[in-house]
Amino acid sequence: MKSQLLVLAVALTAMGCGEKNATPPTETAQTVTLPVDYTYKGAFTIGDMKNVQVVAECNKRLSEHNSNIDEFVADSLHWVMPDGTEFDIPHDSAVAFIKKFIESTSSIKIVFTAQIPLYNAENNDEWVASWTEETYTFKDGTVEHANFHEIYGMVNGKIRELYQFAQKIPDKKEP
């Protein structure tokens, strides 16, 4: 047993000391001239992973049918839904709206694809970009299944803005 562990340790050390093929990323934003002007000024860098933790925990609770999300929502919320409906609502109204939505479902399934924190130093803006696959089964039996891309604007570790984009997933056809 000791000799097997020794062989494993030597093999792992040898693999770890091998030549690295990956080239470190360069800051191309500083070295290229973009052919268009952007209305949102400033450059993005990777932000604070604590913001991803907030968004992930909030969504995890929703998928567990737990509407206790007060701690994640700022004092007001600007929310643009996939259909273009837009709200500017205070904290309590946002939480009540989400709770009512959860109560209209019998189950929520959220599969997390990826999330990344973003920071714009010029504007001092913090964001989380999130990609999920979500299935909502409503109490009346209807099911909605879509891929979501959501952008969360974060202020002091809380969700202040939410922009949602959805792509319906086609039903699988039997061969």
Residue 134: inside a domain, yes or no?
A: yes
DSSP, collapsed to helix, strand or coil, labels residue 37 as coil
The CATH number of the domain where 139 resides is what?
Answer: 3.10.450.50
Domain range enclosing 92: 41-168
CA distance 148 to 103: 21
Residue 31: inside a domain, yes or no?
A: no
8 Å CB contact between 153 and 161: yes
pLDDT of residue 34: 85
Residue 90: inside a domain, yes or no?
A: yes
CA distance 75 to 116: 23
The beta strands (E) that lie in the chain are given as: 44-46, 73-80, 86-90, 105-120, 125-138, 143-155, 158-168
Q: Which of 88, 66, 63 is nearest to 77 (CA)?
A: 88
Residue 125: inside a domain, yes or no?
A: yes
> pLDDT confidence of 80, banded at 50, 70, 90?
very high
CA distance 18 to 92: 56
pLDDT of residue 11: 42
Element (H, E) at 32: none
**pTM listed for this prediction:** 0.79
pLDDT of residue 22: 53
CA distance 5 to 17: 18
8 Å CB contact between 122 and 45: no
Which is more confidently placed, 97 or 169? Answer: 97
Residue 162: inside a domain, yes or no?
A: yes
Q: Quote the number of domains for the chain.
A: 1
CA distance 169 to 101: 21
> pLDDT confidence of 5, banded at 50, 70, 90?
very low
pLDDT at position 175 over 80: no
pLDDT at position 59 over 70: yes
pLDDT tens-digit map of 8-48: 344 444 445 545 555 555 555 467 888 999 999 998 999 99
Burial of 31 from C-beta contacts in 10 A (0-12 / 13-18 / 19+): exposed
Mean pLDDT value across residues 147-170: 96
pLDDT of residue 32: 81
Element (H, E) at 94: helix 91-103
Residue 25: inside a domain, yes or no?
A: no
pLDDT of residue 14: 44
Query: What is the DSSP-derived secondary structure letter of residue 84?
Result: S
pLDDT tens-digit map of 91-144: 999 999 999 999 999 999 999 999 999 999 999 999 999 999 999 999 999 999
